Every structure is written in C-alpha cells, then in structure tokens.
C-alpha cells in the first residue's frame, strides 16, 4: 500500500524561510485546516497517511519533502541549504527508520528533496540555491549501488526543481521552462504550464493529478493529457512558498 508521511503545521510557520515571494501573514489555523484537507485528498487517492505532530521550534517542518528522499530501497536524510531547516531531517528519521535503511548527506553538501524529481531509475536533481554540487554528488554515490542515475538540472528563478517542473509519468514533464534548464530533460515530452500560471508546474501524481485550485488553465492542460485532476486549496501554505508535493513523503 502507498504511504504518505505528513507533519502538522508549526505554530511558528510565520517565521518560515522565503526566497522568491514576499512575506504575508499566514493564518495558522486556516493553514492547518488546509493541510487537513490535503491529507484527506491523499487518503482519497489511496494512501495511508502517517500524520506526525507539529514541531513548534521548526517553522518549515510541515514541508517534509525537503529533509528526506525516500526511494524503493533506502531513505536519504538530506542536509538542507537553509541552515534553519537542518534539524528537520533527524525529526523525520524516527518515522522513516521503520520502513527504510537510512543514509545521510554530509557537510559541505547541501540537498533538499524538493530538488529531486524521480523518473524511473533516474533522479533529476536541481542545482539550486538549496542544493549544491557536493550534495548532488553525494546523492549519486549513495544511490549508485541501487542502479539509479543522477542528472543535475540548473534551476533559476524559483526555489526548487519541482517548483519549475514535475514528472507526470509516461515520459511527460509539466514545466515552466523559464525556471529550469529544459535541455537537461532531453528525451521527455515537455508540456508547458499556462502562460499566466508560472507557479503551476508542481503536481502530485498517483492515479490522479493533485493540484492547487488556483491554476485552472494548467489543470485543463493536465486533464487534456488524460489525467483525472483533483484540486485542493493551499492558499495559506503557498504564502510559505509551498506546492502540493512538498507536504508529504510518498512511498510503498
């Protein structure tokens, strides 16, 4: 069965890291209600949700995708580029250790899971402000025994690779080409987001495609590709630079 690890919203979320958007006050109660609805969507998509309690000292800790990468064989505790987030990985390790053997990215490497897009046995990793060359190289060494290939992709103008593109499946990547080096995705069919929806490339696909409800043009594009589209309101979470993939770790 598919599992999804999530974590409740920190009461200090208004102290979250921000890189590409202006700070706007987050309604913590509303953000948690939206996160609860997000978890309900994951359950409706067939996942068992393992909901972890909030971490009051860690403002960004709802975004469990960044401190860990879960593959079929192992889980990798990352070393986030944002120093304020580096305690989050060990907070997740206890939940992950019952499912996977753990490996770790070490200094001076930095790596965040939002920069890792998996397509089969290839991991496309964003060379971003949060993930550096040493972190990408360490990941490549960790996963090589399991026959994964790691390919670096330049990220520009957004936080993570998966802010600029996500793999839908069947050889199709949904992308905002202005934010990534699309040449590094040679071999994929690249489908562009709607022109007035630059933040719409982050989609969670498992049986259906889960998207924020504020990108109707891109949702129509994804539907035209044959996907059932489900939408969720994450307007408060988006004030912390969130997408739909970053609030869960999904694995079998």
Residues carrying an active site annotation:
160, 246
Residues of 22-41 as b/e, b for ≥16 C-beta within 10 angstroms? eeeebebeebbebbeebbeb
Number of other residues whose CB lies within 10 A of the CB of residue 226: 10
Omega of the bond leading into 108 within 30 degrees of 0 (cis): yes
Q: Specify whether the CB–CB gap between 106 and 138 falls below 8 A.
A: yes
Query: Helix (H, G, I), strand (E, B), or coil: what is residue 86?
Result: coil
Q: How far apart are CA 135 and CA 11, in angstroms?
A: 30
**Burial of 134 (C-beta count, 10 Å sphere; 0-12/13-18/19+):** middle
As a residue count, the chain comes to 252
Q: How many C-beta atoms surround the C-beta of residue 144 within 10 A?
A: 11
CA distance 252 to 236: 29
């Amino acid at each position: 069965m598919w599992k999804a690890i999530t974590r409740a919203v920190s009461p200090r979320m208004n102290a979250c890291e921000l890189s590409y958007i202006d700070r706007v006050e987050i309604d913590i109660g509303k953000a948690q209600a939206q996160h609860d609805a997000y978890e309900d969507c994951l359950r409706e998509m067939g996942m068992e949700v393992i909901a972890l309690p909030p971490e009051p000292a860690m403002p960004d800790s709802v975004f469990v995708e960044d401190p860990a990468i879960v593959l079929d064989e192992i889980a990798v505790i990352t070393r986030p580029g944002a120093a304020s987030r580096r305690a989050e990985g060990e907070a997740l390790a206890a939940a992950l250790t019952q499912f996977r053997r753990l490996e770790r990215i070490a200094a001076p490497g930095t790596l965040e899971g939002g920069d890792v897009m998996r397509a089969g046995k290839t991991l496309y990793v964003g060379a971003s402000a949060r993930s550096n060359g040493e972190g990408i190289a360490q990941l490549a060494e960790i996963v090589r025994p399991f026959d994964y290939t790691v390919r670096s992709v330049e990220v520009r103008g957004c936080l993570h690779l998966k802010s600029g593109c996500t793999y839908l499946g069947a050889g199709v990547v949904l992308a905002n080409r202005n934010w990534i080096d699309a040449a590094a995705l040679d071999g994929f069919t690249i489908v562009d987001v709607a022109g007035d929806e630059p933040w719409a490339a982050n989609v969670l696909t498992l049986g259906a495609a889960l998207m924020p409800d504020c990108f109707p043009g891109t949702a129509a594009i994804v539907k035209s590709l044959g996907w059932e589209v489900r939408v969720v309101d994450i307007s408060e979470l988006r004030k912390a630079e969130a997408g739909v993939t970053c609030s869960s770790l999904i694995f079998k």
